[in-house]
Chains A and B, each alone.
Chain A
Amino acid sequence: KAGVTQTPRYLIKTRGQQVTLSCSPISGHRSVSWYQQTPGQGLQFLFEYFSETQRNKGNFPGRFSGRQFSNSRSEMNVSTLELGDSALYLCASSLATSAQETQYFGPGTRLLVL
Chain B
Amino acid sequence: DQQVKQNSPSLSVQEGRISILNCDYTNSMFDYFLWYKKYPAEGPTFLISISSIKDKNEDGRFTVFLNKSAKHLSLHIVPSQPGDSAVYFCAASGNQFYFGTGTSLTVIP
Residue of B whose beta carbon sits closest to that of A108? B43
* In contact, A42 and B89 (Cβ under 8 angstroms): yes
Query: Chain A's nearest CB lies how many Å from the CB of B67?
Result: 19
Cβ 8 A contact of A42, one of B34, B42, B45, B102: B102
Cβ 8 A contact of A45, one of B2, B44, B97: B97
User: A105 at interface (Cβ–Cβ under 8 A)?
Assistant: yes
A45-B98 in contact given A99-B31, A100-B32, A102-B34 (Cβ < 8 Å) = yes
User: A32 at interface (Cβ–Cβ under 8 A)?
Assistant: no
User: A49 at interface (Cβ–Cβ under 8 A)?
Assistant: no
Cβ 8 A contact of B31, one of A35, A100, A104, A105: A100
* In contact, A105 and B96 (Cβ under 8 angstroms): no
Residue of A whose beta carbon sits closest to that of B95? A56
CA A106 to CA B95, docked complex, whole Å: 21
Q: How many residues of chain A are within 8 Å of chain B by beta carbon? A: 25
Query: Chain B's nearest CB lies how many Å from the CB of A66?
Result: 14
| Interface-central residue, A56, A102, A108, by most chain B CB under 10 Å | A102
Interface string of A87-114 (1 = CB under 8 A from B): 0001010000001111111111010000
List the B side residues contacting A35 at CB < 8 Å. 99
Binding site for B on A (CB under 8 A): 4, 6, 33, 35, 40-43, 45, 48, 56, 58, 90, 92, 99-108, 110
* In contact, A4 and B43 (Cβ under 8 angstroms): yes
Interface string of B77-107 (1 = CB under 8 A from A): 0000000000001010111111111100000
List the B side residues contacting A45 at CB < 8 Å. 96-99
Query: Chain A's nearest CB lies how many Å from the CB of B73?
Result: 15
* In contact, A105 and B95 (Cβ under 8 angstroms): no
Query: Chain B's nearest CB lies how many Å from the CB of A3?
Result: 9
Interface string of B38-65 (1 = CB under 8 A from A): 0001111110010100000000000000
List the B side residues contacting A41 at CB < 8 Å. 101
* In contact, A43 and B46 (Cβ under 8 angstroms): no
